[in-house]
Amino acid sequence: MDYQQLFSLKGKTALVTGGGRGLGKAMAEALAQAGANVVIADMDEGTAKQSAEELKAHQVKTLGLKLDVTLEDEVKSCINEIVSDFGAIDILVNNAGICQKITVEEQSLEDWKKTMDVNVNGVFLLSKYAGKVMKENGGGSVINVASMSSFIANTEAQCAYNASKAAVAMMTKCLASEWAPYNIRVNAIAPGYMKTEMTKPIFAPGGELAHVLDLVPMKRLGEPHELGGLAIYLASDASTFATGSTFIVDGGYTIW
């Protein structure tokens, strides 16, 4: 068995939503290093194009697109453009998401719906239309980004986020069940507290969430690159018997 070949993504095309920065960008980088052509779709078109341009250093074909994952017409247009330019979509990483830290009594219905629209409906729409392409082409891999909050209630108030990520974990199982006959595998990555440019200040000493590190057995935040290896595994032929699973990467937070 050639294990290096199993992990190779050469000739594959991956779509990463919310890939302009943070965790999405790190996973896009990992997929490109493994040989995949990468399309980065992000609300911020400039960031999407810049990040896609940086990935060309890995000698792969890239594209940066503006995409609002909550708009069905934009999703369909995005999928059609990728198929037209790349010929297929082999890997979908549903990374786009938002988190609003608002108590239930202070959260408006509009804010609740916004979280569900991005985190749940966005995953549904991208999976639906990319899944059709994968079905026509004989298979593929969908990687949803859930959260450790799919399984636990955080110490801070974020009910809508937690509920939405629990939905992503269940949607992962449902899609995996429906699409197993078509060689489409669907799994999820569930990160814990991760260090990104956006989150770094709130976890720094004196920050509003500095205390949560006491609840992490490893006593540190995760680094974005620590999701890259798992993304490659789930996207590649190394994981051909894995589907319907959610892989928690949280430094041990959910042990307790």
* Topology of domain 3-248, CATH: Rossmann fold (3.40.50)
Where exactly are the structural domains of the chain? Answer: 3-248
**pTM (global) more than 0.95:** yes
Reading the block at residue 185, the tokens are 């595998």
Q: What is the pLDDT of residue 172?
A: 98
* Whether residue 129 lies in the annotated active site: no
**Helix (H) or strand (E) run with residue 39 in it:** strand 37-42
Determine the residue type at 69.
Answer: V
Task: Spell out the residues 6+ positions from residue 225 whose beta carbon is closer than 8 angstroms to its own.
Answer: 26, 29, 30
Determine which one of 3, 129, 161, 253 is catalytic. 161
Residues 195-252: pLDDT tens digits? 987 777 888 888 888 888 899 999 999 999 999 999 999 999 999 999 999 999 999 9
